[in-house]
Amino acid sequence: MSARQVPVAWSPAKWAYDAVLLAGVFGYLLAFMQLGPLLQDPARPYDGASLAIAAHGSCAFLLLTLALAIGPLARLDARFLPLLYNRRHLGVVTFLVALTHAMEVLGWHFAYSATPPLVAMLSTEPALGAAPGLPFVPLGVLALLILFALAATSHDFWLEFLTPPVWKALHLAIYPAYALVVAHVAFGSLQSAANPALALLVTGCAALLVVLHLAAAFRPAPAEAAPHAEAPWVLAGPADAIAEGRAVIVQPPGGEKVAIFRHQGRLSAVTNLCAHQNGPLGEGRVVDGCITCPWHGFQYRLEDGCAPPPYTEKLATYRLRLQEGQVLLDPRPNPPGTRVEPLVLP
């Protein structure tokens, strides 16, 4: 969806991404159901319902891990950027798989309880070996409620309704949701698991996320061009071709794409990559005097590429000049947050 809740046209790539996601989920579940009986402990075989519970639970955990890994992966390697287009779909599918896991638990383990199944599930005793007062089921239920809130508000209507700052804060709850899932497994299934595979899966995925986020956080900044370096200015086209409140995207030779915005008769240029999730800023528009990312509504000032307080994200800015009605772009990026006076059009 765009910043104005206008449906984005589906492309073959988008269909392919969704097809791969759904095929991966169904393929994993099928493989788990087929191979699970061959790998389980013969002394403690799983019944079909318990096998389905384990299949959907592990699948949801892997999908949640993937959702959290996409961000740092895209920052470390641009080849992962296309995955960001489907991140919302991935979140919705993760919730649906997790919900299926919960419904299977509710319908199997508590089906014959004298009390309502939901009440019985929430009042169950802590798992064997768990710390007193730490029942694992409510942890999973709380994580599921967070995933539901994220999936339900993934539509851009909620981004505008809640405002970008509130929406951003809400969707950062995916991190505590992941921590709750890890605790849910640690105090639940791991307490009675004889096979170390589950423990290796959980610790391996959690460790991978920590490593990826640290690597992305400490990734060296791109080398800046020397102040005296000479580079030919790039022709961006006629100024009249840039619509009010919108942008044109320019690709300097060997450099990153640049978005040139027009606002109130002035032009400003920033990198085309949003500091949040590398969204295409040039496909967005100017809202309330700020560049607004079409993906998640992150905003930046035109003159310096800085997000309005209290946010601290910054974009690289670029210099512009006008020559006989044609806009010229200096392809050398300024350090993020550098103020550049907008180019005033005659």
**Residue-range domains of the chain with CATH:** 12-217 (1.20.120), 234-344 (2.102.10.10)
Confidence bin at 114 (pLDDT 50/70/90): low
Is this structure's pTM higher than 0.75?
no
Each residue of 222-245: pLDDT tens digit?
444 344 345 589 999 999 999 999
Using the structure block, give the residue that is written with the tokens 């400490």. 218
- More confident position, 129 or 53: 53
pLDDT at 222: 45
Token pair of 62 as six digits: 């892997």
Confidence bin at 128 (pLDDT 50/70/90): very low
Helix ranges (DSSP H) in 77-173: 87-108, 117-122, 137-152, 156-162, 164-171
pLDDT at 108: 74
pLDDT at 62: 95
pLDDT at 210: 95
Q: Which string of b and e fits 272-287 if b means at least 16 CB within 10 Å?
A: bbbbbbbbbbbbbbbe
275 φ, ψ (degrees, to nearest 5): -70, -10
Each residue of 81-100: pLDDT tens digit?
677 666 788 999 999 999 99
Distance from C-alpha of 250 to C-alpha of 247, rounded to nearest angstrom: 10
pLDDT at 301: 96
pLDDT at 297: 82
Q: Give yes or no for residue 208 having a pLDDT over 50.
A: yes
Each residue of 268-280: pLDDT tens digit?
999 999 988 788 8
Q: At what angle do helices 48-76 and 87-108 cross, to 10 degrees?
A: 160
Q: Give yes or no for residue 148 having a pLDDT over 60.
A: yes
pLDDT at 198: 83
In a 3-state reduction of DSSP, which class is residue 102?
helix
In a 3-state reduction of DSSP, which class is residue 194?
coil
- More confident position, 75 or 150: 150
| Distance set, CA 78 to CA 39, 84, 171, 179 (Å) | 38, 11, 23, 28
Q: Which string of b and e fits 26-57 if b means at least 16 CB within 10 Å?
A: eebbeebeeebeeebeeeeebeeebbbbbbbb
Q: At what angle do helices 12-39 and 87-108 cross, to 10 degrees?
A: 30
Q: Give yes or no for residue 165 having a pLDDT over 80.
A: no
- Do residues 306 and 300 make contact, with C-beta atoms less than 8 angstroms apart? yes
- More confident position, 119 or 29: 29
pLDDT at 5: 39
In a 3-state reduction of DSSP, which class is residue 166?
helix
pLDDT at 272: 93
Each residue of 28-77: pLDDT tens digit?
999 999 887 776 666 666 777 888 988 999 999 999 999 999 888 877 88
pLDDT at 85: 60
- Mean pLDDT calculated for residue range 125-148: 73
pLDDT at 319: 96
Mean model confidence pLDDT for the chain = 83
Each residue of 291-324: pLDDT tens digit?
999 887 889 999 999 999 888 899 999 999 999 8
- Mean pLDDT calculated for residue range 205-223: 82
